[in-house]
Amino acid sequence: MDNQYLHEVVITAIVVKDNKYLITRRAATKKRFPGMWTVPGGKLETDDYINLPKDTEHYWYNVLEKTLKREVKEEVGVDIKNIEYVTSLARVHEDGAPSLVISCMADYAGGEITLQEGETDKYEWVSLEEAKNYELIDGIYDELAMADAKLRGVKSEWKRS
């Protein structure tokens, strides 16, 4: 790691519809976590804001929210709204690249599920209980538990469920 300040920034969404959560299976060809279940999301790119007019003299606002809406739309074909922060996590990948992942939850706002080829190959809407039956990337179930608690008005920090 040459630059301690330089991270790949990823934002993910636990999409909520009728008290169920959208999970997707990563394509078998993916370099990281192939064939495992997760939630939709993707990387923040400078292109997500650099060509837009600034909201103030110096800043672009709602950058993560716009990125998340774009990524969810690209990956699973649906629109989301009411994005809320859930938790954050960091990892240094095998190739030495550090990642910061910002986990959010959002309400389903419309659209038909259309999976992005090469990214995901399957999806399910699951309850927290049903999620236990899937090979989720480690930590995702605990994030779903946090989202589930948040829906009931209980705020918490991530912990092993």
Q: What is the mean pLDDT of the chain?
A: 94
User: Who has greater pLDDT, 83 or 161?
Assistant: 83
Geometric angle at alpha carbon 24, from 19 and 30, rounded to 5°: 160
Q: What is the mean pLDDT of residues 54-77?
A: 96
What's the pLDDT at 160?
Answer: 87
Q: By C-alpha distance, which of 3, 9, 22 is closest to 100?
A: 9
Structural domains in the chain, sorted by start: 8-151 (3.90.79.10)
Residue 101 DSSP one-character state: E
Residue 154 β-bridge partners: none
Confidence of residue 88 (pLDDT cuts 50, 70, 90): very high
What's the pLDDT at 41?
Answer: 96
Distance CA 112, CA 70 (A): 15
Q: What is the mean pLDDT of residues 66-70?
A: 96
